[in-house]
Amino acid sequence: MSAEKEHWKRTFSLDLLRAVPMGITETVSSTFAMFVAVGLLDVGTLSKSAIIAGPALGMLLSMFSVAMVRRMGLSANVAAAIGWIGAALGYACIALFPQQELLFVVSIVFATLSHTVVLPLQAQIYRQHYPDRVRGRLFSMVGMLRSAAAAGFGFFAGAWLLNQGEGFSPLFWVFSVANVVQALFTLGMGKVYLRKSQKLSLLSSFSHLKEDKVFRKLISSWMILGFGNLLCMALFVEYITNPDYGFGYGAEKVSLITTTVPMLIFIVSIVGWGMVYDKMEFYRLRVIVNVFFFAGLLVYFLVPSFWGLCIGMALHGVGKSGGNVLWSLWTTRFAPADKVSEYMSVHTFFTGVRGMIAAFLAFSLAKTLGPGNVALIGASCILIASLMLLPELKANWHKRV
């Protein structure tokens, strides 16, 4: 076995092991944080917006975390592990002091922020450890296992929570331990270091937007697409939990619809998306994924039945699996090898910006316009973002013919 293959196989093996705790912690943002907030603690609109904004705030701050890691000379592995240990502390705080609304909101925000602030470092690890020819396939296989863990945990944890009343502390102990475990697996991977900087320049990564026209165009399109998608995703749990919108479902149905269904679809489709990513022209793949997001949002919010909700989430799950591959790996294709984390930090920064805006707009728009009209706004954004890429699609088509 060559040294290169042995190197990436070790990373892949540890990534597969890490996928299980990562899948478990994904259910915090997708389902359980909002369900506990709305269904058990009955928090206000501002608190709900803050909970949705937590991961987005972490992404927004990720640009600065990359700059600090570069200046301090830490490995991407150590820095990522620090973030996940911080998330573990946040969840432990909730488990120790349940029923405290303010503490719950603050701790969830801190935990999800800590979890996402280190995402650009993961892209650099994937760029350095996985060969170009199989990166999408390897990433998607890990994603399949991660989603299986999320789907299974979401289903059983939802059923368990249904019989616990207001006793949700054990659930957050599980989230805390899962973050510690994924930090340990990350530390076991081969060390990856970013370009060392001699001074702390928090905004230096923005220079790539000025210098790289392709990067600038993709970031602009992604900003519009992501805003529309996140605006609607912020309402997924609220829409079927809050009786004001006609459903008022409990923990079991909420976790089934918002976690288990999309994650099962994610599992079935992500390896296919990974294989396609390694072979298909990027812009065409981006638009195909957008179609699933577009259809999923419209069905979920405009077909008001249990099966409409399930089909909508299934379509969105197909889009999310492809979008996950693209979101996580696209900078490894477009950025110079030693600048992947910097490109990714700009990408996650703008993801955070749109996530923050969407989180604080979603609930007020739903109250004034209704979830259906919010879905139309979101779908329109996805359509506009896709149309922005038509010149690139045409140019690549002419090259082929």
The mean pLDDT of the chain is 86
Residue 130 clears pLDDT 70, i.e. is over it: yes
pLDDT digits (tens, 9 = 90+) for 136-154: 888 888 888 988 898 888 8
Q: How is the chain split into domains, by residue range?
A: 3-193+206-400
CATH architecture for residues 3-193+206-400 = Up-down Bundle (1.20)
Rounded CA-CA distance 79/177 in Å is 18
Q: Would you say 175 and 110 are in contact if contact means Cβ atoms under 8 Å apart? A: no
Q: What integer pLDDT is reported at residue 70 of this predicted model? A: 80
Angle between helix 340-369 and helix 306-334 axes, rounded to 10 deg: 150
Give the whole-number percent of the chain exceeding pLDDT 70.
94
Q: What is the pTM of this model?
A: 0.76
